[in-house]
Amino acid sequence: MAKFRDLDEFFDDSLPLPIGGKTYRVPPPDADTGLLCQRLMTAGIAAANGKEVDAAQLDDAGEVDLYQRVLGAAYDEMRADEVSWPRLKHAGVTAFLWIAGDEEAAAKFWDAGPESEAPKAEAATSTPSRGSTSGTSRTRPTQATGKRSAGKTS
């Protein structure tokens, strides 16, 4: 019978975002935020492809402060450090893509820089979602040894 190691030994479900020499750690979203992001991404893709989208499906009180929701405690830390709005917004969109899609999509957006636009629907549909049909918000790639190091600088 297989014996599983404790997930905490090798699984890092946060997102490190370096800004101005400091690395802000975006915590994993709660289930409601994860599901909201997936609904928003699905509706955005549908709308971009000319499909009618029911506005009620996007009606969520937390939508007003989406960046705050997706960045979690890192949002307050960035505000306290007076991170500029363009940088905070870039971090927020990156975190949204990480939650709704995966780390690779978030990294592509992050590395595109401040002049980048949100990914087009065609690009979003070219990368299959890692989400399961069991109601979980997403899965994360793991490494057999050590924590993930993507996004960290040396």
Domains of the chain, by residue range, sit at 19-124
The torsion angles phi and psi of 16, rounded to 5 degrees, stand at -80, 125
Q: What is the pTM of this model?
A: 0.67
149 band by pLDDT with thresholds 50, 70 and 90: very low
Least confident range from 12-26, 104-118, 132-146: namely: 132-146
Nearest to 89 by CA among 63, 64, 119, 68: 68
Distances (CA, A) of 99 to 7, 45, 52, 55, 91: 19, 15, 24, 21, 12
pLDDT digits over 70-114, tens only? Answer: 999 999 999 999 999 999 999 999 999 999 999 999 999 999 987
